[in-house]
Chains A and B, each alone.
Chain A
Amino acid sequence: MPTKTISVRIDGELVTAREGQSILEAALANGKQIPTLCYLKGLSAVGACRVCMVELAGTDRLLPACTTPIQEGMSIKTASAKLTQYRRMAVELLLVERNHICSACVSNGHCELQSLARSLGITHVRYSYNNPRMTVDMTHPRFVLDQNRCILCTRCVRVCAEVEGAHVWEVASRGIYSRIVSDLKDDWGKASNCTGCGKCVQACPTGALAEKGLSVMEMVKQSDAVSRLATQRASLVNGAR
């Protein structure tokens, strides 16, 4: 479907983008990197993690790149001292919110939260750890949900709703008490809507959702595969409109 081509500036460089793209999509298409956590190509963008905030010339307001549409003439800055500071703080906040103990986690070494922390140069956190008591659900025959590692990115919620159509996952309660739940907060093993497809596990950026019986080296997520599936499904749905 032909869309209008527009020209914008990203980090000083003049590039082309397509109308309807988000700032993030335009940047990625032009080989520019913007850090993200809750974004997964193919799924709807929600703007939850606030890691992808960028600066726009002409305004003091920061914009979330994944949900803001790119417009003709925009001049975007993807990195600056302030953006780096705020990205660090967002990751810091996630690190203290729950119990992220890399050394004991199956996603150690290939976790998006960990990688982002490393790339931002985070060596320690300045806020005290909340140390909440969180649960682990091992009732599913094949998978595990460890709430200690969840960052509430909702990629699992979206992939289950938008791609698989099973709607198993949702976020319950609100604020700091928000939790991912399956069905009516049933044990995952008893959630009748679950098809066992495992897309949520592959979409999950951390070790919150994992496959039982896999070692650290084996538990590398196939998020690209999920993206492909999601993109295919999205274009099917859009085509049908």
Chain B
Amino acid sequence: MQSVANGALNAHEKLLIDQAVAEHAGRPGALLGILETVQAANAHKYLSMDSLRYIAAETGIPPATIYSAATFYALFNLDPQGDNVVCVCRGTACHTRGSRDLLEKLCLDLGLSGQEASDTNEADKLALTTADRRFTVRTVACFGQCALAPVVEVNHHILSHVNERTLQREVKALNKGGK
């Protein structure tokens, strides 16, 4: 889906980027750090094309390199995320305890079309956002909370031993209270 064009960056956004660049300049992992900072500061937790272009201009890194890094790592989003981010863990322990079914049920409930390991799926990682932008469903390979399997992170809050009912309840609650 096309990224939402929010026009050129405003002064505040540019300042943020300038600060991030200055903080990380010359250090190992600089680009990663800059992208992480800029994304975290964005209201919709994503990297807009304009911000990427600005970063390229300010750092002198070729735009292609920046685009390559931004699309390589699963953490970076080039599309605005929904108001609520639900992340289902697909690690081994969670998979053994049924996280695939949880994921399917979640997508079903939110009206997101069938998400299996689709062979012909063009999306590079599972990150589906509902049309009304209320929810984004993602997966993570492992949270490292295997003893609490199956694990689902809702808005950065880890839920443990999740089953279909508890997940449904969470989603309903968010829908009601949501922005």
Contact = CB atoms under 8 A, between A and B. Distances in A.
B64 A181 contact: yes
Contacts of A182: 64
Contacts, number: 52
A118 interface: no
Interface of A: 130, 132-133, 161, 167-175, 177, 181-186, 193
Interface string B96-140: 000000000000000000000001101010000000000000000
A172 B72 contact: yes
A132 B124 CA distance: 13
A170 B68 CA distance: 6
B166 interface: no
Given A183-B63, A184-B52, A172 B122 contact: no
Given A184-B49, A184-B52, A184-B53, A169 B122 contact: no
A173 B71 CA distance: 5
Contacts of A130: 119-120
Interface of B: 49, 52-53, 56, 62-68, 71-72, 119-120, 122, 124
B75 to A, nearest CB: 13
A3 to B, nearest CB: 32
B56 to A, nearest CB: 8
Given A177-B122, A177-B124, A184-B52, A172 B68 contact: yes
Please provide the 6 A-B residue pairs with the shortest distance between their CB atoms, ordered closest to farther. Answer: A167-B62, A170-B64, A170-B68, A177-B124, A183-B63, A172-B71
Q: At the interface, is chain B mostly helix, strand, loop or mixed?
A: helix
B148 to A, nearest CB: 29
A169 B68 CA distance: 9
Contacts of B49: 184
Contacts of A185: 67
Contacts of A174: 71-72, 124
A184 B124 contact: no
Contacts of A183: 62-64, 67
B114 to A, nearest CB: 18
11 contacts: A132-B122, A133-B122, A168-B64, A169-B64, A171-B68, A174-B71, A175-B124, A183-B64, A184-B49, A193-B62, A193-B64
Nearest to B61: A167
| Residue with the greatest number of chain A CB neighbours at <10 A, chosen from B56, B66, B124 | B124
Nearest to B66: A184
A185 to B, nearest CB: 6
Contacts of A184: 49, 52-53, 56, 63-64, 66-67
A208 B106 CA distance: 40
A171 B68 CA distance: 6
A173 B120 contact: no
A133 B53 CA distance: 28
B42 to A, nearest CB: 17
Contacts of A193: 62-64
A49 B85 CA distance: 38
Contacts of A173: 71-72, 124
A186 B66 CA distance: 13
Contacts of A175: 124
B122 A170 contact: no
A167 B65 contact: yes
A82 to B, nearest CB: 29
Chain B CB within 10 A, most for which of A168, A184, A185: A184
Contacts of B67: 170, 172, 181, 183-185
B110 to A, nearest CB: 24
Nearest to A165: B62
Contacts of A132: 120, 122
Contacts of A168: 62, 64
